Amino acid sequence: MSLSSFSVLETEIFRYIDAHQSDFIENLKEWVAVESDSVQPELRKEVIRMMSLAAARLAALGATVNSVSLGSQQLLNGQHLPLPPVVLGELGKDPQNLTICFYGHVDVQPAKKEDGWKTDPYTLTEINGNLYGRGATDNKGPVLAWINAVETFRAFKIAMPVNFKFVIEGMEEAGSLGLEKLLEEEKQGFLSDVDYIVISDNLWLSKKKPALIYGTRGNACFSVEVEGGDKDLHSGTFGGIIHEPLTDLIALLDSLVDPTGHIQIPGIYDAVAALTDEDKKLYESIEYDIEEHKNNSGVKKLLFSTKEEILLHLWHYPSLSIHGIEGAFHEPGIKTVIPAKVIGKFSIRQVPNMDLSDVKQQVVDHLENVFAKRNSPNKLKVSMPLGAKPWVADVNDPLYKAAKRAIRTVFGEDPDFIRDGSTIPIARIFQTITQKRVIMFPIGAADDGEHSQNEKISRHNYIEGTKVFAAFFLEISKLRGQLHETSNPRTNN
Amino acid sequence: MSLSSFSVLETEIFRYIDAHQSDFIENLKEWVAVESDSVQPELRKEVIRMMSLAAARLAALGATVNSVSLGSQQLLNGQHLPLPPVVLGELGKDPQNLTICFYGHVDVQPAKKEDGWKTDPYTLTEINGNLYGRGATDNKGPVLAWINAVETFRAFKIAMPVNFKFVIEGMEEAGSLGLEKLLEEEKQGFLSDVDYIVISDNLWLSKKKPALIYGTRGNACFSVEVEGGDKDLHSGTFGGIIHEPLTDLIALLDSLVDPTGHIQIPGIYDAVAALTDEDKKLYESIEYDIEEHKNNSGVKKLLFSTKEEILLHLWHYPSLSIHGIEGAFHEPGIKTVIPAKVIGKFSIRQVPNMDLSDVKQQVVDHLENVFAKRNSPNKLKVSMPLGAKPWVADVNDPLYKAAKRAIRTVFGEDPDFIRDGSTIPIARIFQTITQKRVIMFPIGAADDGEHSQNEKISRHNYIEGTKVFAAFFLEISKLRGQLHETSNPRTNN
């Protein structure tokens, strides 16, 4: 294909995508309607139903589809819950083509109308050019944008520019249980002929300017259980004479982070990578509007006032957030009870080169130390139910350059090379297992509100995102022959 | 009636009560079956239904019954919720008789099977002589024991030894909203000819030994709201760069009480009454088994090791308990969100002579002071949605002596004169409004688990409690003429 015919094809493809917006939005509406919340056990059946829809959609593309069972998970209460299958899809086997493996997830975070949604979270609703619904941006919208792009090439009945593989899972919001093991098993099988891995499960740094992501923080989630007696007690009958478990827990949680966001756990910053000159240059060049990010957050004042400080604290340094307490009174109104057993939940977003098992040990040592000073007869139990490592990639890889060109074609400007403060463990997992290049290629905007109330993707981002993926396929097709000329990917495990 | 015929009647009455145990338990079963939880708004209709059952039961006794509407309450979210009516009942108007007004409540604390109940909380279930069910001891059982005792006298078709009045409410567990105003209005009406007020809404100090109660602690319930932005945020995307509201709240809650139970709010102990010699004597004489109380609590170690220290910290000193947090993640599992608005709940049990408005000011000043030091841009709002004053009575009053004799007759031993660490605001309210003697006359045992999982009253206590109330009516009838010889009741407002 000559450069001019390439360009003609691209134009035709973009026109087709524009003409089929309604169909693509209808597809997203159908997926958002499924409450595929992988966090709450009682909704697991909806996640499983969602996986069937995803498998059917890939099959409709002409892909060979295999829904691989992952068995079950055991909950803290001992109950066994079936894991949703992982959908593996394969479309095209041309040995002349490069093979891109797309990873996405179709499970979502919990959402209820009463959490503060303006629209029903499971009815995709367009308001002022935004498509509101749980999963619209995280991650159903981007998964469908990729599928829409593939579908568009099929509609033209031309040879595919690349071979496609798909890994679609339903447990991302609950720690991708079982997935790493499956990928490990498929290293010599399904994954053996993959050249590149593409993940589109993050957001741009801006509402308007596209970005490519080359690093993510890890996430170590902790449970701190303090148990007193065997039953809740009346605060009048026992208040003042017992060591209250919740008072202990509050003190433990209060020992974790100071008002400036600095983590108080001894040793926690020891392994944080030094800031290199190359890092600094990347940070300096990023177009980043602090006011915009602050407005997206909804808060009135951030902890830092310069671009570099903000980005360093999101990408380069760890952070600690307290999420809540299980077992205490949490409803509106008053209940004057001393709860018998309470479980604090917090998480640490770690960065290269923090080691998960070191972090766990530091947390346990610190909390046990604080607790010991209280002379409390209550029982303390610290656990790390979820631990995901950070990830970082090489921005000079041809894969990143191809994505950059596709973005320039569709959006008319170069992307920022950014990192993400949040955790997509799958990037590091794919890179470690396949030793192939991984790119994080977001199409959602900074104000999409993933995990939050009123999550959305804009119609613009969804449709232009479909185009940018299509353009990316063509750019990748131009990389044939260049594949083995580059250096090994950076790894940091 | 001569002393010997009095004794014969008593014996006959006790025999009747023993013979009708099954009927009395059936009555309790019917009442426990109603989920009359006054705390959770969606159950308000069940409380209202419960009030109808109580009114019908009094009418069946032959009482004149008046269900007085109290209008509605406004919730924090602005919603208006109807208040259950107060049932006023009147039985007997013999000018030769003294008039006892019995106060009780038929609403209950929240309870769900999954909180850790061994039986369904709304199906009264007898196991090893204990009757398990929400409200069994707090307060449906004691209310019915009193009604059973009146019913027994009616069954004998003899002249009643006293005139009865009943005040039955359905909002006790939610702060008795509207009741004080009603009682104030009825001061010259329904309450004008009352001689004594009896409340049976507490527990003995022991599992076996009866007690009479002459004081209760007050309860000041606080809400501490910390609000950041207008929506929950992803802890990866914003962790490390914002002042997290929950981190602020945890620090505020951690500033309230030290590991020994000592409240850290400046000035809070200033108004606590000095310990008198009479107080000390009462404390010393009490038969109190620390081990038993510790076992009832289910905890392994108490904050203090001597009887006097324990009782002083339950009755004579204030205590502070943290109850939980609204707005944060509280479910099992993991949700890595930074909540936008969180509300901490805690309460202070106050003692004579702490002043509610002083306590409120001290709490607000302290929290604002701690918060100011954090330099947080979040918004702090401290409120006291409920404030109930402490109460204390004169143990040398003939009313207390009559109750003591009834207890000796039925249980074969003298009661302990005790106070209660918990709050029954109604005692102080009745005393202040009517300027008549108030007695707290419990029939539940220390291990009844009011407000807790597996609340119960023993069959023994329920039936002997019915007898002791019947014997008390006869003792009161002997007080005719003595009424105006005693000193004024002690008040402390």
Is residue A4 over pLDDT 70?
no
Say whether B366 counts as a known binding-site residue. no
Section B14-43 average pLDDT: 97
Q: What is the pLDDT of residue B481?
A: 66
CATH number at A463 reads 3.40.630.10
Instruction: Give the per-residue pLDDT at A482.
Output: 62
The yes-or-no answer on residue A107 being catalytic is yes
Q: Is B310 part of a structural domain of the chain?
A: no
3-state DSSP call for residue B57? helix
Amino acid at B277: D
Q: Rounded mean pLDDT of chain B?
A: 92
- For residue B491, being part of any structural domain is answered with no
Residues B353 and B369 in one domain: yes
Say whether B221 and A334 touch across the interface (CB within 8 A): yes
Grouping H, G, I as helix, E, B as strand and the rest as coil, residue B28 is helix
Contact check, Cβ <8 Å, A228/B310: no
Ranking A75-84, A126-135, B466-475 by mean pLDDT, the lowest is A75-84
Residue of A nearest to B454 (CA): A231
User: Which ipTM did the prediction report?
Assistant: 0.75
Q: Is a pLDDT exceeding 60 seen at residue A425?
A: yes
Domain shared by A41 and A126, yes or no: yes
Distance from CA of B55 to the nearest CA of A (A): 27
| CATH code for the domain in which residue B223 is found | 3.30.70.360
Helices (runs of H) and strands (runs of E) counted in chain A: 14, 20
Q: How sure is the predictor about A423, in pLDDT bands with cuts at 50, 70 and 90? A: confident
For residue A366, say whether it is annotated as part of any ligand binding site: no
- pLDDT tens sequence across B376-393: 999 999 999 989 889 988
**For B326, which residue in chain A has the nearest alpha carbon?**
A330
Domain membership flag for residue B305:
no
Is the predicted pLDDT of residue B484 greater than 60, yes or no? no
Where among B388, B408, B425 does a domain terminate? B388
Residue A278 within a domain = no
Q: List the catalytic residue out of A172, A186, A195, A475.
A: A172
**Predicted confidence (pLDDT) per residue in A292-314, tens digit:** 778 878 898 999 999 999 999 99
User: Which chain A residues are Cβ-neighbours of B452 within 8 angstroms?
Assistant: 231-234, 337
- A9 & A45 share domain: yes
Pair (B247, B339) in one structural domain: yes
Last residue of a domain, one of A388, A406, A431: A388
A148 shares its domain with A187: yes
Is B394 annotated as belonging to a binding site? Answer: no
Give the per-residue pLDDT at A202. Answer: 87
Within a domain: residue A477? yes
Q: Does the beta-carbon distance from B234 to A450 stay under 8 Å?
A: yes
Reported confidence tier of residue B425, pLDDT bands at 50, 70, 90: confident
Where among B353, B388, B423 does a domain terminate? B388
Residue B255 structural domain: 219-272+317-388
Contacts 24+ apart (CB under 8 A), A158-161: A158/A9, A159/A94, A160/A91, A160/A92, A160/A94, A160/A97, A160/A473, A161/A97, A161/A473, A161/A474, A161/A476, A161/A477
| Residues B334, A385: C-beta atoms closer than 8 Å | yes
Q: What is the pLDDT of residue A75?
A: 84
The yes-or-no verdict on residue A489 having pLDDT over 60 is no
- How many structural domains are present in chain A? 2
For residues B133 and B150, give the distance between their C-alpha atoms in angstroms, rounded to a whole number.
24
Q: Is A448 a catalytic residue?
A: no
* pLDDT of res. A492: 37
Residue A292 forms part of a structural domain: no
For chain B, the straight-line distance linking the first and the last C-alpha, in angstroms and rounded, comes to: 41
Per-residue pLDDT at A484: 44
B153 with B246, same domain: the answer is no
Assigned token pair, A12: 């035709």
Residues A86 and A179: beta-carbon distance below 8 Å: yes
Q: Is B201 annotated as a binding residue?
A: yes
User: Residue A294: which of A447, A458, A130, A455 has the closest Cα?
Assistant: A447
Question: In this predicted model, what pLDDT tens digit does every residue of B443-477 receive, in sequence order?
Answer: 999 889 988 899 999 999 999 999 999 999 999 99
Exactly one of B46, B107, B151, B416 is catalytic; name it: B107
Omega prior to B353 cis, within 30 of 0: yes
Q: What does the alpha-carbon distance between residue B111 and residue B32 come to, in Å, rounded to a whole number? A: 12
Whether A244 and A224 share a structural domain? yes
Higher per-residue pLDDT: B319 or B79: B319
A451 is in an annotated binding site: yes
pLDDT for residue B493 is more than 80? no
Residue A400 distance to chain B (closest CA, Å) = 22
Between residues A420 and A366, which one has the greater pLDDT?
A366
β-bridge pairing B379-388 and B219-227: antiparallel
Of B242, B329, B331, the CB nearest to A299: B242
Residues B117 and B254 in one domain: no
More confident residue, A112 or B287: A112
Q: Is A324 in the same domain as A209?
A: no
pLDDT value of residue A5? 64
Helix/strand number for chain B, H first, E second: 14, 20
Give the model's pLDDT for residue B4: 56
pLDDT reading at B42 higher than 80: yes
My answer on whether A372 and A401 are in the same domain is no
A245, A194: one domain:
no
Asked if the structure places residue B354 within a domain, the reply is yes
* pLDDT tens sequence across A336-353: 899 999 999 999 999 999
**pLDDT per residue as tens digits for the range A457-485:** 999 999 999 999 999 999 999 998 665 44
Structure tokens at B70: 């109290």
Select the residue of B298, B310, B326 nearest A331 (Cβ to Cβ): B326
* Same structural domain, B71 and B116: yes
Residue A16 near residue A151 (C-beta atoms within 8 A):
no
pTM of model > 0.95 = no
pLDDT for res A407: 97
Residue A492 lies in a domain: no
CB distance A236–B377 less than 8 Å? no
What is the number of CB-based contacts under 8 A between chain A and chain B? 325
**Least confident residue range of A26-30, A62-66, A394-398:** A394-398
Q: How many CA atoms lie within 13 A of A108 on its CB side?
A: 32
Q: Which of A115, A319, A375 sits opposite B239 (nearest CB)?
A: A319
Identify the DSSP state of A135: T
Torsion of CA A408, A409, A411, A416, to 10 degrees: -20
Q: Looking at chain A, which residue has its C-alpha nearest residue B342? A: A324
The residue ranking higher by pLDDT, A425 or B362, is B362
**Nearest C-alpha neighbor of B65 from the set B43, B30, B82, B89:** B89
